[in-house]
Amino acid sequence: ADHPATRLDPDPERCRYAWSRLPGPFLVWPVAHEKAGATPLVRHEDPASTGDGGRPLLVAHYFDGGPVLWLGCQETWRWRSVAPKVYDRFWVGVM
């Protein structure tokens, strides 16, 4: 909840609750390994994945001095059906 992209609510408890209520992805792009210096913000709890805590789903990093955010799925549109304000806040935070 400390990163602007994952801060769905200013209150940390409500932020965790919002993340727990969002529909999970059906498909998560595989990652061979995490890049050095990258910060995984959200992980997918995939039992087939190897590594610490699951497959990275949302990762923050810097490239050429600028921030980069990698999202390992394309299904955040599903969030609008259950939490339109959370969906908007996520994408405003990302941009």
Whole-number Å distance between alpha carbons of 75 and 27: 8
pLDDT at 83 over 60: yes
What is the residue whose two structure tokens read 């939490």? 83
Q: Among 83, 86, 41, 78, which Cα is nearest to 59's?
A: 41
pLDDT score, position 1: 60
DSSP class per residue in 45-75: --TT--SSSSEEEEEEEEETTEEEEEES-S-
pLDDT score, position 31: 82
8 Å CB contact between 60 and 6: no
pLDDT in tens, 3-59: 888 888 889 999 999 988 899 888 888 887 888 889 999 888 765 655 566 788 899
pLDDT score, position 66: 92
pLDDT score, position 50: 52
The Cα diameter of the chain in Å comes to 37
Residues 6+ apart with CB under 8 A from 1: 7, 8, 12, 15, 16
Report pTM. 0.80
